[in-house]
Amino acid sequence: MTGAAGTAPLVTIDRVHAARDIAADTGADLLVLTPGSDLRYLTGYDAHAMERLTALAVPRRGEPFLVVPRLEAPMVDASPAGALGLEVLAWDETDDPFALLAATATARIGAAPTRVAVGNRTWAEHALGVQRALPGSALELAAPVVDRLRMVKSAAEIEELAAAGAAIDRVHARMAEFLTVGRTEAEVGAMIAAAIIEEGHVGVDFTIVGSGPNGASPHHELSDRVVAAGDVVVIDIGGETATGYRSDCTRTYVVGGSASAEVAEWYGVLHAAQQAATAAVRPGVPAEQIDAAARRVIADAGWGEHFIHRTGHGIGLDSHEAPYIVEGNGIPLVPGMAFSIEPGIYLAGRCGARIEDIVVCTEDGVRPLNVGPRELVELPG
Ligand code: ZN
Ligand code: ZN
């Protein structure tokens, strides 16, 4: 992966070596990561998941290696992983890739690994294949190792997230083109999806158009409901950029009318909650306190029972990753952590509202990566 500026590489071999050190720290003997964001983060190889085994193996001693189907070895070379100097073990169609992985890891360590950490999203058939090839081994999740690295973004990664944030802000800025009275949510969603690509993403992760009562369902996506004059509409959208980094931003609109006094009142509470949570971000503050900062404002105003989800989630190569901004997560924020702040208020059967920005914890506070207006935006319809 090369950065947006095309200069410094996003991925260096240091990441794999850091993962080996952390794995040793946790007592894991072997880390096995298959196609997905963990593999892309550590090696730059954006492999597609399928039944044939592709895996990065990181033994606690010796050099890490990649096990790949021989027909895909040229793709590793062509990817940023090709420049890392990682050893690539190619296997032929009739070989047993699990036996190859197990034997190589055992040779590097000098003993058969017993604690094997596999990626949280590794397919079960691959995880169990590794375990079968290492009789007596026990599987555990690799998250404690990889999340420690992925949670804290480098300056280059933050610039990738900032570019993704600016791209999704441009889509929201064009919302009057898409969100009009008489269109269905599905029609609005299709136009937004096209704009997500036009404005600088290579893929659409999700388009939530929650009009009227559908806005009270936080993860509602699209339906055939026709947008009506005076509807409050929750628009939560995100995509993937060429380097794999994600955007995720919610704004709430009123279309073809203006908000009732009651909606304006509780929307003001929501806005204040989002600001309070953002202002609370600085190094050393536990993640759960950011959640508490938003929740307190909403509860104090009497709307607490209508804020039915956590305040946020980390973001990077996945749209949802550590750290989670939720009660019970006492992890202290450190500079470089990037996450959403997205309180909402949901009135079942009527409507809902959410305000979501991606923010980064900096050395002395916070940097929002979404900067579009957070007020209830009135569109002519
Ligand atoms: Zn989000
Ligand atoms: Zn969102």
> pLDDT exceeding 90 applies to what percent of the chain?
97
Distances from the Cα of 111 to the Cα of 56, 102, 114, angstroms: 19, 11, 9
Cα(356) to centroid of ligand 2, in Å? Answer: 6
Residue 290: band (very low, low, confident or very high) from pLDDT cuts 50, 70, 90: very high
Nearest alpha carbon to residue 220 among 374, 358, 346: 346
Instruction: Write down the pLDDT at residue 8.
Output: 66
- Considering the domain architecture, whether residues 172 and 303 belong to the same structural domain is answered as yes
- Considering the domain architecture, whether residues 217 and 280 belong to the same structural domain is answered as yes
Please state, in angstroms and rounded to a whole number, the distance separating the CA atoms of residues 296 and 170: 31
Cα(339) to centroid of ligand 1, in Å? Answer: 8
Among positive and negative, which fits the CA dihedral 141, 145, 146, 148? Answer: positive
Cα(277) to centroid of ligand 1, in Å? Answer: 15
Omega into 35 within 30° of 0, i.e. cis? no
Average pLDDT over residues 145-161: 97
- Considering the domain architecture, whether residues 88 and 218 belong to the same structural domain is answered as no
Domain presence at residue 64: yes
Cα(354) to centroid of ligand 2, in Å? Answer: 9
Which of 116, 150, 184 is the C-terminal boundary of a domain? 150
314, 323 contact by CB (below 8 A) = yes
Domain presence at residue 84: yes
Distances from the Cα of 315 to the Cα of 148, 150, 161, angstroms: 14, 9, 8
CATH number at residue 96: 3.40.350.10
Say which range, 8-17, 227-236, 360-369, has the weakest mean pLDDT: 8-17
Which of 150, 175, 202 is the C-terminal boundary of a domain? 150
Cα(12) to centroid of ligand 1, in Å? Answer: 28
Q: What strands, in cross-sheet order, belong to the sheet with 377-379?
A: 203-211, 231-240, 249-255, 377-379
Residue 2: band (very low, low, confident or very high) from pLDDT cuts 50, 70, 90: very low
**pLDDT tens-digit series, residues 301-350:** 999 999 999 999 999 999 999 999 999 999 999 999 999 999 999 999 99
Domain presence at residue 8: no
- Considering the domain architecture, whether residues 296 and 191 belong to the same structural domain is answered as yes
- Considering the domain architecture, whether residues 230 and 307 belong to the same structural domain is answered as yes
Q: 127: domain range?
A: 13-150
Looking at all shown ligands, the one closest to residue 208's CA atom is 2
Number of domains present in the structure of the chain: 2
Cα(212) to centroid of ligand 2, in Å? Answer: 18
Mean pLDDT, the chain, integer? 96
Domain presence at residue 348: yes
- Considering the domain architecture, whether residues 136 and 233 belong to the same structural domain is answered as no
- Considering the domain architecture, whether residues 302 and 332 belong to the same structural domain is answered as yes
Cα(250) to centroid of ligand 2, in Å? Answer: 6
Domain presence at residue 1: no
Indicate whether 225 pLDDT > 60.
yes
Cα(237) to centroid of ligand 1, in Å? Answer: 9
Instruction: Write down the pLDDT at residue 181.
Output: 98
Looking at all shown ligands, the one closest to residue 238's CA atom is 2
Cα(248) to centroid of ligand 2, in Å? Answer: 5
Instruction: Write down the pLDDT at residue 149.
Output: 97
Please state, in angstroms and rounded to a whole number, the distance separating the CA atoms of residues 296 and 299: 5
Cα(313) to centroid of ligand 1, in Å? Answer: 6
- Considering the domain architecture, whether residues 129 and 70 belong to the same structural domain is answered as yes
Which of 150, 165, 192 is the C-terminal boundary of a domain? 150
Cα(317) to centroid of ligand 1, in Å? Answer: 13
Average pLDDT over residues 193-215: 98
Domain presence at residue 7: no
- Considering the domain architecture, whether residues 72 and 220 belong to the same structural domain is answered as no
Cα(182) to centroid of ligand 2, in Å? Answer: 25
Domain presence at residue 6: no
- Considering the domain architecture, whether residues 281 and 214 belong to the same structural domain is answered as yes
Instruction: Write down the pLDDT at residue 381.
Output: 81
Nearest alpha carbon to residue 137 among 175, 177, 179, 109: 109
Cα(358) to centroid of ligand 1, in Å? Answer: 8
Indicate whether 5 pLDDT > 50.
no
181, 253 contact by CB (below 8 A) = no
**pLDDT tens-digit series, residues 107-128:** 999 999 999 999 999 999 999 9
Count of C-beta atoms within a 10 Å radius of residue 48: 9
Domain presence at residue 361: yes
**pLDDT tens-digit series, residues 226-264:** 999 999 999 999 999 999 999 999 999 999 999 999 999
Cα(244) to centroid of ligand 2, in Å? Answer: 17
Q: Cα 104 from chain centroid?
A: 33
Residue 7: band (very low, low, confident or very high) from pLDDT cuts 50, 70, 90: low
